[in-house]
Structure 1
Amino acid sequence: MRWRCVVVNQQRDNCLIHCDIAVIGAGPAGTVAAAILARCHVNVVIVDPLELSTHKVGESVPSAMAALLSATDFDGLDECHHMPISGSETLWCDERLSQDAFTQPGGMGWRLDRCRFEQQLLTKAMAAGANAHQGRLQAATRQSEQWQLTLDDGQRLQAAFVIDASGRNGALVRLLGVERQTTSPLMAAWSLSEAVKDGHAAVGKTLIESDETGWWYGAQLPSRKWLAIYHTHMPQAKRLRQTDGLWRSQLSDTALISQFIDPSLFDPSALTLSDARGGYLKQAYGDGWAACGDAALSFDPISSQGIFNAMATAHQLATTYLNAQPQEDGLQWQRYQHQLNRIYRAYHQRRQGFYLRAMQHYDSEFWKHQCA
């Protein structure tokens, strides 16, 4: 992939990149925001390490994604690279529930080839006129209504406005010390299987199963590999990683998921731990900056809405920036914040519905902490 940037004022080995907006993060949120702004002739530079080959947990999107892609002028999804979700099989609190996507009001969602999807979004943003620079944000200062950004490679950027779309870690908001509210700690202990050999029919269903110390998620990816994730608290996650074969043994003990997934396909030593708790910024915008996607509000994976909401909030942020008028004294940004708050309240209500039921059923410390 070819990277483009506007370079001026070269001094020694460093150069200063000038832009109207610096977008920190090249995930779904960052690329959607950058593309929308670039189409309106805003000079945008995307900053990201660009580790596109790294697998990222989170690959499901709802049927509403088709309308969102259309609204943001991105190409639709196709079965050549992504896989339709045909429904779900859930065993929650020992109660079995099967759902068929064809009976749902919105129809089928999609299981993404996440790396290919993000690469397509980035290519589309650059085709719209956005520039990109490979690097990580290290420092940010604001003077005379301009940001001075320093990257880990020594590169410096000057921007009038900065969008933090860098994910849960919030590269910019962390430097600014913006307060983030989070739910109880939740870890995702996950692994990818070997690819299932040809001759076996692909499984398009999402698999969910709860137990006393957490809950499992299983799905077959477009690569025909299985992704299995156990969501639990940190002590149990550490035990799973430190005890050889324990994670695979627990997968074998599942009543539902082991009917679909062969635990022997997983390397017992290849287990990754990721932070999976939800959270939100009490204030997702400020003087010359705003956040979207997981940097603004991140969801517990039970929602299966992370990618969709990252792109939706990016769309809202870009539209807010383009419509904001100085004489309004921040009215448009207040509306943006209210919309984020509304989204988070709806998500939290749905999450609590699942988790309170599990707390009442299992009466375990894990579920009590999740509902606290």
Structure 2
Amino acid sequence: MNTRATPTAGGRFEVVVAGGGPAGAVTALVLARAGRRVLLVDDRAAPPGTTARLTIGETLPPAARPLLHDLGLWSHVTGGRHLRSTGILASWGSPELYDRSDVRDPNGHGRHLDRNRFDASLRSAAVAAGTELRRAAVVRHHAQGPAQRLLLRREGAFEELLCDWVVDATGRRCVIGRRLAVRHRQDRLVAAYTLLDRRVPHGRGTDEELRTLVEAVPDGWWYTVRVPAGRLVAYLTDSDLAGRTLRTPTGLLAHAARTRHVRTRLEGYASPATAPRWTAAHGLRLSPPTGPGWLATGDAALAFDPLSSQGVLTALHTGAHAGRTVDLCLRGTDTQTLADYTAFLDGIADAYRGHHAHCYGQERRWPTHPFWKRRVDSSMSSEQRPS
């Protein structure tokens, strides 16, 4: 039997979704369409009239198309400023480039997203379906009987509310789940990244290359991609291998200048005026991802190494599944619902681990360098561990 929570002055909601990225927005959308009273709490989207934050996780693979069609959201990536992705060029396992094109993919081309616009469009779809959106942050959460008590910070003030279910879609921060479960980190991978938004005088003209370029180097790997706002370049390495020179614009580009292929994509671009941004990029798993009255989705539940290029796709899939799961739990008719959701995440995690080990195992040019040796050792350890 489901016991309804008594709301406080914060509002009457069955579900509060914390985090307004793709996973949170799709969770809210699915729940609102099911007739649920949903509050989407988002503290990271840029308010109107301000500069949006730069983020990585800009590639939407072709496999996202069927899901977006099912959700009625495909038009959100075919219009606007999003660019068509025509595949990947990679120097991985060899100094030469090989081409992996999307031409033969039955789902067509992927997209290089303007992430801020894409995320905002998903939130707008959730609001159009009946979700209430508040620019606020969850600062405290605990169960109170069958209800979930949340303390929100909104424009410097605090408000408290009760709900029946809370969904953690706060990404790697995992502000709710990290206090209720254990997070398992895969390695020490970090990303330093910056946006190059204009060419210097006498540059090569318009940059029309829409393929992502990936290049392995002795201490990690690089990628660069054309996005609507300019050209994004990122360096991936382990936190203890990242030198201080990478923390300045000139230092990062000087490091890129030592590559064979990435440097040619950056020719003609001016050095950015601001320091590179840094973010954790390691695989991450929350265990367990659910509990009484709460559930984690997106990167809060399962985050991937960017090499997979599956982060946005996984956020959309897990968000849709999370919405359906919470709706069934509110109906109170299926005692297996949370176990099914966990099994769904387990399947994704198993496929990711196999893909991750295979991809890193293809690069064998620097077997004694710490970055690559760690991944070979980790792969061997995983193969020897009982399932």
Q: Same fold (TM over 0.5)?
A: yes
Aligned partner of 2:340: which letter? Answer: R
**SS where residue 97 of structure 2 aligns?**
strand
Contact 2:41–2:134, Cα closer than 8 Å, also in 1: yes
Contact 2:246–2:255, Cα closer than 8 Å, also in 1: no
**SS where residue 374 of structure 2 aligns?**
helix
Offset at 1:243? 6.3
Structure 1 residue 39 corresponds to structure 2 residue 37: no
Structure 1's 327 and 28: CA in aligned 2 closer, same or farther, altered over 3 A?
closer
> Quick one: which of 338, 355, 360 aligns to 1:350?
355
Contact 1:247–1:268, Cα closer than 8 Å, also in 2: no
Contact 2:193–2:278, Cα closer than 8 Å, also in 1: yes
Q: Following the alignment from structure 2 to structure 1, what is the Cα–Cα distance between the partners of residues 363 and 207? A: 33
> Quick one: which of 200, 208, 211 aligns to 1:202?
208
Structure 1's 32 and 314: CA in aligned 2 closer, same or farther, altered over 3 A?
same
Structure 1 residue 295 corresponds to structure 2 residue 295: no
Q: Residue 245 of structure 2 corresponds to which residue in structure 1?
A: 240
**SS where residue 278 of structure 2 aligns?**
strand
**SS where residue 103 of structure 1 aligns?**
coil
Contact 2:148–2:162, Cα closer than 8 Å, also in 1: yes
Q: Following the alignment from structure 2 to structure 1, what is the Cα–Cα distance between the partners of residues 34 and 83? A: 33
Q: Residue 324 of structure 2 corresponds to which residue in structure 1?
A: 319
Q: Residue 170 of structure 1 corresponds to which residue in structure 2?
A: 174
- Stretches of structure 1 that go unaligned for 5 or more consecutive residues are 1-7, 10-14
User: What do residues 91-126 of structure 1 show as CA deviations (whole Å, max 9, x unaligned)?
Assistant: 013242112221344431110011110111111100
Structure 1 residue 187 corresponds to structure 2 residue 190: yes
Percentage identity across paired residues of the two chains: 28
Q: Following the alignment from structure 1 to structure 2, what is the Cα–Cα distance between the partners of residues 190 and 204? A: 18
> Quick one: which of 274, 278, 283 aligns to 1:278?
283
Aligned partner of 2:221: which letter? Answer: W
Aligned partner of 1:87: which letter? Answer: G
User: What do residues 28-68 of structure 1 show as CA deviations (whole Å, max 9, x unaligned)?
Assistant: 00010101111111000011114331111111011122211
Q: Residue 127 of structure 2 corresponds to which residue in structure 1?
A: 126
Q: Following the alignment from structure 2 to structure 1, what is the Cα–Cα distance between the partners of residues 79 and 37? A: 34
Offset at 1:239? 2.0
Offset at 1:71? 1.3
Contact 1:139–1:175, Cα closer than 8 Å, also in 2: no
CA RMSD after TM alignment: 2.1
Aligned partner of 1:19: which letter? Answer: F
Q: Following the alignment from structure 1 to structure 2, what is the Cα–Cα distance between the partners of residues 242 and 82? A: 29
Structure 1's 45 and 327: CA in aligned 2 closer, same or farther, altered over 3 A?
closer
User: What do residues 255-284 of structure 1 show as CA deviations (whole Å, max 9, x unaligned)?
Assistant: 111222227523275211110001111211
Aligned partner of 1:209: which letter? Answer: E
Structure 1's 70 and 362: CA in aligned 2 closer, same or farther, altered over 3 A?
same
Structure 1 residue 19 corresponds to structure 2 residue 13: yes
> Quick one: which of 201, 205, 211 aligns to 2:217?
211
Offset at 1:127? 0.7
Structure 1's 51 and 57: CA in aligned 2 closer, same or farther, altered over 3 A?
same
Structure 1 residue 156 corresponds to structure 2 residue 160: yes
Aligned partner of 2:11: which letter? Answer: I
**SS where residue 88 of structure 2 aligns?**
strand
Q: Following the alignment from structure 1 to structure 2, what is the Cα–Cα distance between the partners of residues 137 and 16? A: 13
- Stretches of structure 2 that go unaligned for 5 or more consecutive residues are 1-6, 47-51, 379-387
Aligned partner of 1:65: which letter? Answer: A
Q: Following the alignment from structure 2 to structure 1, what is the Cα–Cα distance between the partners of residues 248 and 22? A: 35
Offset at 1:72? 1.6
Compute the TM-score of the two structures, normalised by the length of structure 2: 0.87
Q: Residue 12 of structure 1 corresponds to which residue in structure 2?
A: none
Q: Following the alignment from structure 2 to structure 1, what is the Cα–Cα distance between the partners of residues 168 and 363? A: 35
Q: Following the alignment from structure 2 to structure 1, what is the Cα–Cα distance between the partners of residues 70 and 249? A: 48
User: What do residues 179-222 of structure 1 show as CA deviations (whole Å, max 9, x unaligned)?
Assistant: 01110110101111123589514211000000110000100102
Offset at 1:368? 2.0
Structure 1's 264 and 188: CA in aligned 2 closer, same or farther, altered over 3 A?
same
Poorly superposed stretches of 4+, deviation over 6 Å: none
Contact 1:359–1:368, Cα closer than 8 Å, also in 2: no
Q: Residue 110 of structure 1 corresponds to which residue in structure 2?
A: 111
Contact 1:248–1:263, Cα closer than 8 Å, also in 2: no
Structure 1's 274 and 50: CA in aligned 2 closer, same or farther, altered over 3 A?
closer
Compute the TM-score of the two structures, normalised by the length of structure 1: 0.90
Alignment of 1:41-56 (within 5 A): 41-52=35-46, 53-56=52-55
Offset at 1:238? 4.4
**SS where residue 345 of structure 1 aligns?**
helix
Structure 1's 180 and 359: CA in aligned 2 closer, same or farther, altered over 3 A?
farther
Aligned partner of 2:23: which letter? Answer: A
